[in-house]
Structure 1
Amino acid sequence: MARLDNLIFKSLADAKAHFSEVVDTASNGQRDVVITKNGVPRAALISYEKYTKMLNFLSTAYELYLMDAGEKALGTQLEDIIEDSSED
């Protein structure tokens, strides 16, 4: 999980006005950008490299889950697991 001191918070209006800079900030991989709307975090912009690493990690974790869960995992998709955890 990203440490708060490595995050940059930008309002939606500021992110729109300086979109190229915001993309450059996130794409260098040093800082993630959290975009807020009315002061509430609504989206995050991360580097493509970090995104692909996260997808690979989730895929590996899903495969391990299937191996461990056995038959009770039949028909379970990765998206189902992610959606269940986001409801917490």
Structure 2
Amino acid sequence: MKRVQHFYPVAEVKAKLSEVLDQVDGADVVITRNGRPVAVMLSYPLYERLMDFIDKVWDLYLLDVGDPSIFKDLKLDELFNDFDENE
């Protein structure tokens, strides 16, 4: 099931932040700069579920692979470090 997405330029988000935040419960808000997506706003409960899912997938990955260092060329650790830094 694909969630509804609304696209807003940065200037419009700045001007109408409260209105844009009201839309986050029912849809993802994609913020654009010069017509290109640069960020996404999503509801906090959805964010929590996504982070929980990623943690579970990482744990399953470690159980299956054992030593993740054999995949260092895939730079998976960098991907997950990015998530940790943004918490």
Shift of 1:79: 4.7
Matches of 2:6 and 2:40 in 1, distance apart? 10
SS in 2 for 1:61: helix
Q: 1:59 to 1:2 in 2, by over 3 A?
A: same
Shift of 1:81: 3.9
2:31 to 29, 35, 38: 35
**2:62 maps to what in 1?**
66
- How high is the sequence identity, in percent, across the aligned residues? 38
TM-score by length of 2: 0.77
Count of residues in correspondence between the two structures: 77
How large is the Cα RMSD of the aligned pairs? Answer: 2.3
Structure 2 alignment gaps of length 5 or more: 82-87
Q: Quick check: 1:55 aligned with 2:51? A: yes
Shift of 1:24: 1.2
Measured against aligned partners, the alpha-carbon deviations of 1:19-38 in whole angstroms (never above 9, x if no partner) come to 01111110x2x111000000
